[in-house]
Amino acid sequence: MSVRRLLASISFSFALLGVVSGQTVLPALPVEKSPAPPTPARVAAVAASPVQPQITFNSVHVDGPYIALTFDDGPHATLTPKLLDLLAAHHMKATFFVVGQNAADHPDILRRALREGHEIANHSWSHPNLGKMSDEAVRRELQKTDDAIAAAIGKRPTLLRPPYGSITAHQKRWIHDEFGYRIIIWDVDPLDWKRPGPSVVTSRILKETHAGSIVLSHDIHPPTIEAMPAIFDQLDRKGFKSVTVTELLAMATPLPPKPTATPRASPVPVAAPASSIYAPPVITTTPGG
């Protein structure tokens, strides 16, 4: 018997043995390889990915008693100059979010505000709800106001406050990319536009303001201007220092890490005597009463 026939006979015998024993001989599977470890170049590329800058601010964490007083909807022909007088007397700085139509009518007031160290920012041309408008309509509102401010004071604003605080995430991104604006909201709102009276406006601002606050008011309502002397006096006594919004943003510091709480063992519950178990009373009044 030749060698070739002998090998064929042996292979056939093994195959027959596998069938007889009920086992199927399978071909060997390829061994799965582990993924290659990341190279230094890949690690560096991930680490170098850009971090998106913060666009919207309601308040700022600062190390110090600094706040930003902001006034919307002006300038007003008579009330804004009175406010500027009060700010000068108290050595306070403010940021004016101006409506473009009013800025175009009173450029001299904007020039005075800038000359005295205050900041001028964009509050749209006609005070619409930007969040409900098309991109092109929003662009026209912002550009006209931007142009009016630049014509009055020779420089363009870097901040935007959307009327009513209404703005979409999509609008924030393209407005920041196109105009370079940071979006400024607030964390203290005395609701002075409802004209609750000077004492109420004063009480609300003093109660809610803390270091890093962005305080909202309007320099087009007489009661608001009447409230400012008392507000400024009390803020002075509390040690607050008012700066422009851009100055406040520049002072921002990271929030300190929260301390890790040490878990405590839960006390073993003790059953109360039957006589001390509280049974709630039956409520018979209707909801909303």
Q: Is 176 a known active-site residue? A: no
Q: What values do phi and psi take at 97, rounded to 5?
A: -90, 100
Question: Does 72 qualify as catalytic in the annotation?
Answer: yes
Cβ contacts of residue 135 below 8 Å, gap of 6+? 171, 174
- CA–CA distance from 215 to each of 68, 133, 254 (Å)? 6, 26, 21
Q: At what angle do helices 222-237 and 198-208 cross, to 10 degrees?
A: 40
Catalytic position from the list 123, 218, 219, 221 = 218
* Per annotation, catalytic residue among 72, 73, 192, 219: 72
Helix (H, G, I), strand (E, B) or coil at 257: coil
In three state form, how does the secondary structure of 23-60 look? CCCCCCCCCCCCCCCCCHHHHHHHHCCCCCCCCEECEC
CA distance 186 to 205: 12
CA 185 to the chain's CA centroid: 8
Considering only CA atoms, which of 164, 149, 171, 161 is closest in space to residue 101?
Answer: 149
Q: Among all residues, which ones are annotated catalytic?
A: 72, 218
